[in-house]
């Protein structure tokens, strides 16, 4: 999942690839579904902001909770 998460970051900033939020979400979801806390938190951000996916606060909260349960501080802050 770490390599998948790295691809997310590349697609967000366009490093070596064209910027593409939809592609970033695709890779983020793959890493998140494998339990990567950073990817889970980022997927929450994608849903919260409607970036690459339809905006959905419930789905955002679900991913933030999964990440926060693993100790991710950013996810905990997002849920506060």
Question: In the prediction, which pLDDT does 41 show?
Answer: 98
Residue pointed to by tokens 């929450």:
44
Torsion of CA 17, 20, 22, 24, to 10 degrees: 50
Model pTM score: 0.93
Stretches where the chain sits below pLDDT 70 are none
Helices (H) and strands (E) in the chain, counts: 5, 0
Question: In the prediction, which pLDDT does 16 show?
Answer: 94
Residue pointed to by tokens 């579904």:
33
């Amino acid at each position: 999942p770490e390599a998948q998460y790295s691809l997310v970051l590349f697609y967000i900033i366009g490093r070596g690839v064209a910027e593409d939020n939809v592609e970033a979400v695709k890779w983020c979801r793959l890493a998140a579904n494998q339990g990567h806390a950073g990817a889970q938190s980022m997927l929450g951000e994608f849903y919260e902001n409607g970036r690459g996916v339809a905006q959905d606060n419930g789905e955002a909260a679900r991913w933030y909770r999964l990440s926060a349960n693993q100790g991710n501080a950013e996810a905990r802050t997002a849920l506060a």
